[in-house]
Structure 1
Amino acid sequence: KIARAASEVTGIDLPDLMDAFGVTFVSFVGQYGYDRILRVLGRHVRDFLNGLDNLHEYLRFSYPKLQPPSFFCEEESSMGLTLHYRSRRRGFVHYVKGQLRQVGFLFYQTEINVEVLKETDHAEGLTHVVFRLHFNNRAYKINRHHLGNTCTDSLLPVRSDVFFEVFPFNVVFGEDMLIRRVGIGLQNIFEKLEGRQIEESFTLNRPLVKFTWENVLNHTNNLFELVSRLPIERTSLHGKSSMSDGGSDAPEGFNTLANENDRCLTLKGQMMFMEDWKSVIFIGTPIMENLEQMFMTGLYINDLSMHDSSRDLVLAGTQQSAELKLALDQEQQKSSKLEESMRMLDVEMKKTDELLYQMIPKAVADRLRKGEASVETCEVFQEVTILFSDVVGFTKICSRITPMQVVSMLNSMYTLFDQLTEKHNVYKVETIGDAYMVVSGAPEKTRFHAHYVADMALDMLRSMKHLQDPSTGDTLQIRIGVHSGMVVAGVVGLKMPRWCLFGDTVNTASRMESS
């Protein structure tokens, strides 16, 4: 969607834009150190392309939810090779083309011309694209020369039982896809695998091809990932399934209620064709994210091979996971405290804003926040209407009642007036003693300013029947003066700044009220 929108804005064709994205991405990832991974994938371009399918596997630990594409090379010659690209994401063909050309130029100083031979969208949501890559593949000649001079001395004979013990998670199957032999590690957790179809026992997750004899032989340079179709029922020392009795055999601290996917065994490794056996052997290693998953799949540390890093990865990964969990918990606690502090800060900021907007119009306050000088907020309003009011006989009333009664009386009156300002869309400028001042037409301009203020004045008079003189019990009376004209409005002063109005219109309205 982003690419289509960019294409519409820039006028660049979408394929050309995606190609440019691919070129730029290769340079972009170099800023974060991923160029070092790309540089060590192969000595030559052909080595890089043959190992391209395994690239995303190296990123699995950093991005566990990654759903990578699949790559496969064939028909290699000294002038290039054919590359098959399969992905569950559509629309990235030209993006991949740009990446391939940039990798050749940036890391191998080789010009790669990419030609799309075929593009197919399958019903299961898989896109299959066949590229023909044209480049100087001199490494292909060197490799063929070395193969022709391979040493033919006989190797030390190794018995098959020793071989299957050294590689406990191997699977041997023939062209009919029947399993002929499995390693001792698989024998310990699976029953009667031998003699069954391999695709009935395992699904092929990678590469993204059908699990057939031909595809296996064509992808021997690719990493294979097999997952058992059925979850493994862990058995206790007495032969009972620990899942059926509520997991009573589980050590303390292990979660026995893992879902079925957690109890499926995942194997990753390489497929090799054995000419003498007329079979393919899969030499794999179980992938365990933690000790709990190992327990649920019925494996133990000593089931893993000693000659590779399988044991170290599981134990080190568990220790690192515990450390990361502790660090994550601490960060979550800090995050919760920070969120609470931010929430309280937002509440206080809202209170501050409400108080500020009661003193200064919102539009003016926002300009002051941006750093404008107060004098720059001054503005001329050509047409406004101003209203002044005060209490008749206010001085005599104050002489007959206590100061607290005066405050209570004014508070009751101003509360009613404040409600009327909201009703009639007028702005309260200030109160001084018993004087109350409002304006319409500023700070928000309107051609109905006189109507609003007139309605406000009438409602003020009507509201007085609800207010009494505390000294006599009679209804309070007020005087009101109104005038329309031009004013200058702005914020004046540094301490306790106020938004004030200046001009003859203000003076005339005040005299209208007092006379």
Structure 2
Amino acid sequence: MSWYGQIHVAVRELVLEKFGEDNWKRILQKADLDDNEHFMVFHRYTDSVTFKLIGAVSEILGVPVTGVLEVFGEYFFQYCLKHGYDKMLKSLGEDLTSFVQNLDSLHSMLAMSYKNIEAPSFRCETNEDGTLILHYYTVRPGLYPIVIGLVRAVGRDLFNTNAILEVINISSQQLTEKDVQEHVSFKVTLVDKNKNTSKSAKVVYQHSGEMKVYSRDAFTPTIPSNLQISAKNFCLVFPYHVIFDKDLSVKQSGIMIQKLCPTLSEENTFMEKCFNLVHPRMKFTFSNILTFINANFVLEIKLKGLANDSSIKVKGQMVWLEDVDHMIYICSPRLASLTELMEKNVFLSDIPIYDVTRELVLLNQQRIAEIEISKKLDETTAELRKTSRALEAEKQKTDMLLYQMLPVKAADQLREGKPVEAEKFEDVTILFSDIVTFTNIAAACAPLQIVSMLNSLYHRFDSLTNTHDVYKVETIGDAYMVVSGAPEISETHAQKVSNFAMDMVEDAANVSSPATGLPIQIRVGIHTGPIVAGVVGLKMPRYCLFGDTVNTASRMESHGVPGRIHVSPFTYNKIQGGNYLFRTRGDTEIKGKGTMHTYFLIGRNDRHMKEPDDEFTDEGDYPTIKVSHSGENATTAEEELTRSSSLTTQSPTIKIPDVTSDKPITSTTCIVL
């Protein structure tokens, strides 16, 4: 058995409207359904798919399945009203009882367009106290809560009535060896919302601006005493009818139905011999016919030697002829399209002119064509959505790759065909790093080993750029360059680069050299100053930085020490007061720059880096010096150092005499900012 996708679409609209998009995404994930593939209105889906969707809704929303079905039943009626079925539903009956009684007719009509629809069946009985007994028959057990919500919505929205439903009995009926039908009985109590509203059967209409009321109760039909038609003419005028008794023995039939079913013309024939009962789904007995007397009856004509697909169905009404204790079945061929008409070898001329079946066939032919177009449109839309999602995913990949090569701002301008103008930044911080003894490692190892080592190292560094919000400019061999303060201006660019530098030195120790198997060491240099930046090139555009600041940062790295962060005095002054820890390197001869007083960044007050075992680590006999940068007694780092000891400069290290011994010690001084 299967459902049309309209049920799935209604469930989706219900969840989105009542519970939001986040819950809907969780439901789709839980049910393992695709938002496009499994929600096409005119496609059919197996019961397992639909029940999986309902189960996921129940689990994600924390509502029992019966509660979900009841809410869905109520919402589905409102969904139908909003999607073009309002006039059809409002014209079914003048009250709730007649509405329910005619639901089978509606389902029968819809079945002409929606092939193989598995519709339930309804029947109503009126009690003396004004309550109703609603009978619900279905081959899908357990779905009766939908009826509760549906009837409640019909009473409220169409008849201004509160419908209170109570399940009084649930039973099963074995129809065939394979088919089992569930029968649920409800007691329905109707309460008017407006106590002053009369429930009598009246029709109100407007004519020439004047409102008039027509009461059905006032009508009295005229019935003749003698029937003015012979049996022969009756069979000609009503070519599709069968009269049978309580034993289902056929007593009379119309000429056209005899043509379709020759067995009817035989003497002592029975209904079960001529027809299979298709709807309502029940055993073909007289008592069952009486029970469903107000339902549409669909019978399949039994023809010897013909496949089921070639059989002809008739649809009509059973009427009890009380005066003769017989039942008459007045029907018409149940044909959905001109194609089916031709397949069954039936012609429009075989159908009486007064019979609306002619018009229904023609109208439904158009409806079927529209449904086919809508179905293809559904498929095309679903495919376009799938393609759009795939395209969006690829676009995101392309954007991510582009944003790794160029700043977002510059990339967006290039994509829009706009020129990217160069910018001047008054204050940025640039970092360079390289791998110690990289030339020796490259000479001793295979190319793939070198690439693997660099890839592992740069993956770590790239991740850190996101953590510290710095921009990776480029990598050239073993050199890695980042900047902060450009292309996005930042007031804390020096702090961001300093924090990034400390993390990258520590992370580099987690990558081993393929030559020795030992952790690799990097040199890091940092400098702060002005630059000019812009995109250069057309074929492979790159975001480039220009200015002496770039050169100086590169010199800080090339004149640095393995495992240490070499900082220029400009960067040092920029982050004073930020609780960073430094060792002064003293005056150092920098190629192309002359003598510069530089520093090693070794941590923060809350974080002390592990230092390499070199000549700058030995603090021996020298105390840590705190430098004050504010207040009345503010001093510079140089003044503090001068008061602490006598410094003798020796490039590239500083020799400081021991205050308690004549033995000179080569060291640096730790400064807390």
After TM superposition, the score normalised by the length of structure 2 is 0.51
Indicate whether 1:449 and 2:507 are aligned.
yes
- The worse-fitting range, judged by mean Cα deviation, of 497-506 and 98-107 is 497-506
Following superposition, the deviation at residue 307 of structure 1 comes to: 0.8
User: What's 2:435 paired with?
Assistant: 387
CA distance in 1: counterparts of 2:62 and 2:390, whole angstroms: 48
Match of 2:314, SS? strand
1:163 is the counterpart of 2:234: yes
In structure 2, how many angstroms separate the alpha carbons of the residues matched to 1:220 and 1:499?
A: 87
Structure 2 matches for 1:192-341, cutoff 5 A?
Answer: 192-193=263-264, 194=266, 195-230=268-303, 233=306, 260-318=307-365
Q: Which residue of 1 aligns with 2:454?
A: 421
Return closer, same or farther for 1:315/1:76 CA change in 2, 3 Å cut-off: same
Query: Which structure is higher in RCO with an 8 Å CA cutoff and minimum separation 6?
Result: 1
How has the CA–CA distance of structure 1 residues 29 and 442 changed in structure 2, closer, same or farther, with 3 Å as cutoff? farther
Q: How far does residue 280 in structure 1 lie from its aligned partner after superposition? A: 1.6
Match of 1:154, SS? coil
**Which amino acid is 1:280 matched to?**
M
Deviation at 1:322, TM superposition (A): 5.8
Contact 1:112 1:134 in 2 (8 A): yes
Q: The residue matched to 1:305 in structure 2 has which SS? A: coil
Tell me which residue corresponds to 2:168: 117
Offset of residue 179 of structure 1: 2.9
The separation in 1 between residues aligned to 2:457 and 2:74, in whole angstroms, is 62
Tell me, yes or no, if the aligned pair for 1:207 and 1:222 is still in contact at 8 Å: yes
Q: Percent identity?
A: 27
**Structure 1 residues 121 and 200 mapped into 2: Cα distance closer, same or farther (>3 Å)?**
same
Whole-Å separation in 2 of the counterparts to 1:436 and 1:6 = 54
For residues 445-493 of structure 1, the C-alpha deviation after alignment (integer angstroms, 9 at most, x for no partner) is 889732455527879xxxxxxxxxxxxxxxxxxxx982269999xxx96
Matched, 1:128 2:183: yes
CA distance in 1, matches of 2:533, 2:310: 74
- Structure 1 residues 385 and 64: CA distance shift in structure 2, 3 A: farther
1:263 positional shift = 0.9
Partner of 1:482: 522
User: Which residue, out of 479, 493, 503, partners 1:437?
Assistant: 479
Give the C-alpha shift of residue 165 in structure 1. 2.1
Residue 340 of structure 1: CA displacement? Answer: 11
Cα contact 1:271–1:281 (8 A) shared by 2: yes
Q: Which residue of 2 aligns with 1:43?
A: 94
CA contact (8 A) 1:19 1:98 kept: yes
Code of the residue aligned with 2:100 in structure 1: it is L
SS at 2:94's partner residue?
coil
SS in 1 for 2:234: helix
Change (3 A) 1:231 1:391: farther
> How far apart are the structure 2 equivalents of 1:199 and 1:487?
99
Q: 1:78 to 1:493 in 2, by over 3 A?
A: farther
Name the CA distance, whole Å, in 1 between partners of 2:393 and 2:138: 49
Q: 1:388 to 1:436 in 2, by over 3 A?
A: farther
1 or 2, which has the higher strand percentage? 2
- Structure 2 CA distance for aligned equivalents of residues 155 and 504 of structure 1: 121
Structure 2 unaligned spans of 5+: 1-51, 193-197, 203-215, 416-430, 441-445, 463-471, 483-498, 536-540, 563-589, 592-673
Q: Does structure 1 residue 179 correspond to structure 2 residue 237?
A: no
Match of 1:464 in 2: none
Q: TM-score, normalised by structure 1?
A: 0.64
The verdict on how the C-alpha distance between 1:385 and 1:422 changes in structure 2, with shifts beyond 3 A counting, is: same
Unpaired segments ≥5 residues, structure 1: 234-259, 370-382, 393-412, 460-479
Q: Structure 1 residues 384, 341: closer, same or farther in 2, change over 3 A? A: same
State the partner residue of 1:352.
Answer: 398
- Map of 2:644 onto structure 1: none
Greater percentage in helix: 1
Q: 1:497 to 1:87 in 2, by over 3 A?
A: farther
Q: Equivalents in 1 of 2:288, 2:551: separation in Å? A: 91
Work out whether residues 121 and 137 of structure 2, in 8 Å CA contact, stay in contact via their aligned partners in 1. Answer: yes
Local SS of the residue matching 1:112? strand
**Counterpart AA for 1:299:** V
Superposed displacement of residue 23, structure 1:
3.4
Q: In the comparison of the two structures, how many residue pairs are matched? A: 427
How far apart in 1 are the matches of 2:86 and 2:439? 81
How far did residue 294 of structure 1 move? 2.0
CA-CA distance at 1:312 after TM superposition: 3.0
Conserved? CA contact 2:321–2:328, under 8 Å = yes
Q: Distance in 2 between matches of 1:54 and 1:109?
A: 23
1:73 to 100, 124, 141: 124
Q: Tell me, yes or no, if the aligned pair for 1:232 and 1:298 is still in contact at 8 Å.
A: no
Contact 1:384 1:450 in 2 (8 A): no
| 2:210 counterpart residue number | none
1:411-439 CA deviation, whole Å, 9 max, x = no partner?
Answer: xx99996565346664686668x765248
Rounded Cα–Cα distance in structure 1 between residues aligned with 2:54 and 2:324:
52
Query: Alpha-carbon deviations, 1:279-310, whole Å to 9, x = none?
Result: 22211111223333222222122111211222
